[in-house]
Amino acid sequence: MKIGSMFKDLVVSFFSPPVTEKYPFEKIDTAERFRAKLCFDPAKCTGCNLCSLDCPADALQIVIIDRAAKRFVAHYDMDKCVYCSQCVQSCKFKCITLSNSEWELASLDKDSFAVNFGKDADIATFLERANAPAPEPPQQG
């Protein structure tokens, strides 16, 4: 039976530097396998859509610009993503990777969370389509 069983620990700590990591002044590296922001390589995509189907958070959609010419755009919602890496598993062609360093994603601007991956021309086409006014409903005769 002791009074003050943690005495030694306390005294040793008193003379040692604290273990607190002084983020953001000191940043330590994340592990190599750390799962952070998604990165999509449109070159190998075939439009099978498995990644989008299997995403538990509905964060990834593959937009088909031109299936025959293999032009795809991946629309990625960073704020919906749960960084589970299922998309990485589901993709048979290794188009998707999760970065292990881009994890400081907080932002004051919600629009910056929607990220599009693809060739610039394709992304432009996608954005045009997305922003185009809705077509007029057919007139009832």
DSSP H helices in 39-115: 50-54, 86-90
Distance in Å, CB of 126 to other proteins, minimum = 25
Distance in Å, CB of 62 to other proteins, minimum = 16
**Should residue 101 be labelled a site residue for other proteins when binding is judged by CB under 8 A?**
no
C-alpha of 5 from chain center = 47
Candidates 14-22, 66-74, 112-120, 126-134; binding stretch for other proteins (CB under 8 A) = 14-22
Pairing of strands 71-77, 60-66: antiparallel
The mark string for 22-61 relative to other proteins (x by CB under 8 A, - otherwise) is: x-------xxxxxx-----------------xxxxx----
| CA atoms of 20 and 17, how far apart (whole Å) | 9
SS3 66: strand
Q: Binding residue for other proteins (CB under 8 A) from 20, 131, 139, 140? A: 20
Q: Binding residue for other proteins (CB under 8 A) from 13, 99, 101, 112? A: 13
Contact 75, 130 (CB under 8 A): no
Q: Binding residue for other proteins (CB under 8 A) from 44, 67, 89, 93? A: 89
C-alpha of 70 from chain center = 23
SS3 72: strand
Which residues of this chain interact with other proteins, rule CB under 8 A? Answer: 1-7, 9-11, 13-14, 16, 18-20, 22, 30-35, 53-57, 82-86, 89-90, 98, 100
